[in-house]
Amino acid sequence: MRKIGLLFILISFSTGISAQLIREIKLNYSSSNDHYFVVEPKGNIQGALVLLPGSYQEAESIFPETKLHNVAYLHNLLVVAFTCGKTKAYIDDQTLENIDTVLDHVIKTFHVPKDKFAIGGYSAGGVIALTYAEHCKQYPHKAVINPQAVFTADSPVDLVDVWYTFNREVEKNFSEAAMNEAKAFLKTMKEDLNGTPHTNLENYIKHSPFYSKADDGGNAKYLLQTAVRLYHDPDILWQLKNRRRSLFDMNILCASAMVNYLLLQGNEKAELMIADRPGTRSDGFRHPHSWSIIEEVDCILWIKKSLGIE
């Protein structure tokens, strides 16, 4: 059993209603998950919301980009944020162990029941959130938590499709930012997943939240009883102009297929959420791939309903 110590770093910020604290909790061992951040609610903790950042991002990058933690504070939800390995867009054994360790510590420290958790993430963080929720449902006897709700902010859900999408980005050679991301992830995926979908399709399906060509949806079949929301800003005109992407290159295509699969299997709690406002980064830059596509109040109320909290 790892020995865990605590180091608290307090960062205050104003919501216009009351001051809140983002606490960094340092875990006393060497790992990519050697710390996590929490925002404790205004009243007694009734549940927990786990937030995961995108690739190459620190956990603290979440807080300027969304007000989910502000709204959760007012609704008695503990917010937990941590990084799952900066280059990860899927869960391997080490990442799974790291997530389990953090959440086990959260339960013991803040006394949150294991069935009062929701988990969500942005971009690659959303892939990990979905995959982790699926893992918990597939192996309930050894799962640290029993998440009742899972959501994503413009995340890809089919790793096989991601492989081909990234290859098209490289071939187009239009957006330097998109092309650099594609090259980096193609290299990482080939190394981590031991090949390509051509040479090791089974491993891609194993690590993917959803596989659109499988009758059983791949790992999505483990979410048939779970509340699922996949948030997207389907601004095709922005994508055509700024990235030269068609609908076939956008994350929403496979997301809609995943939600449709869940609905067909009887999960009426599965939803494709279309942004009610244009995605915008905290610096004011317009981008559909943003945390801000999630309407925070509605999302928190959905989480409370999913957790059975009044």
pLDDT of residue 82: 95
pLDDT of residue 15: 39
Highest mean pLDDT of the ranges 177-181, 188-192, 292-296: 292-296
pLDDT at 31 over 60: no
pLDDT of residue 19: 52
d(C-alpha 247, C-alpha 165), whole Å: 11
What pTM does this model have? 0.92
pLDDT at 141 over 50: yes
Structure confidence by residue, pLDDT tens digits, 58-83? 999 999 999 999 999 999 999 999 99
pLDDT of residue 29: 62
pLDDT at 234 over 90: yes
126-142: average pLDDT: 97
Confidence class for position 5, pLDDT limits 50, 70, 90: very low
Q: In the block, which residue shows the tokens 């290859």?
A: 167
Q: Indicate the residue type of 242.
A: N
pLDDT of residue 28: 76
138-153: average pLDDT: 98
Q: What is the pLDDT of the chain when averaged over all its residues?
A: 92
Structure confidence by residue, pLDDT tens digits, 80-93? 999 987 677 889 89
pLDDT at 94 over 80: yes
Dump the DSSP string for the chain: -------EEEEEEE-SS-EEEEEEEE-SS-STTSEEEEE--SSS--EEEEEE--TT--GGGHHHH--HHHHHHHTTEEEEE--S-TT-SS--HHHHHHHHHHHHHHHHHH---TTSEEEEEETHHHHHHHHHHHHHHH-TTT-S---SEEEEES----HHHHHHHHHHHHHH---HHHHHHHHHHHHHHHHHTTS-TTT-HHHHHHH-S--TTSTT-GGGGGGTTSEEEEEE---HHHHHHHT---GGGSHHHHHHHHHHHHHHTT-TTEEEEEPSS--B-TTS-B-SSSGGGS-HHHHHHHHHHHHT--
Among residues 134, 132, 138, the alpha carbon closest in space to that of 101 is found at: 132
pLDDT of residue 293: 98
pLDDT of residue 47: 98
124-143: average pLDDT: 97
Give percent of the chain with pLDDT exceeding 70.
92
238-266: average pLDDT: 97
d(C-alpha 168, C-alpha 150), whole Å: 29
pLDDT of residue 84: 83
The three-state (H, E, C) secondary structure of 221-255, written as one string: HHHCCCEEEEEECCCHHHHHHHCCCCHHHCHHHHH
Structure confidence by residue, pLDDT tens digits, 180-225? 999 999 999 999 999 999 999 999 999 999 999 999 999 999 999 9
CATH class of 8-158+208-307: alpha beta
pLDDT at 167 over 70: yes
101-129: average pLDDT: 97
pLDDT at 290 over 50: yes
Q: Indicate the residue type of 12.
A: S
Q: 308: Cβ–Cβ under 8 A, 6 or more apart, which residues?
A: 148
Specify whether the CB–CB gap between 152 and 231 falls below 8 A.
yes
Domain boundaries, the chain: 8-158+208-307
Q: At what angle do helices 93-110 and 124-138 cross, to 10 degrees?
A: 80
126-148: average pLDDT: 97
Q: At what angle do helices 159-172 and 176-192 cross, to 10 degrees?
A: 140
In DSSP terms, 199 is beta-bridged to none
> What is the number of alpha carbons within 13 Å of residue 9 lying toward its C-beta?
8
What's the token pair of residue 159?
């790793």
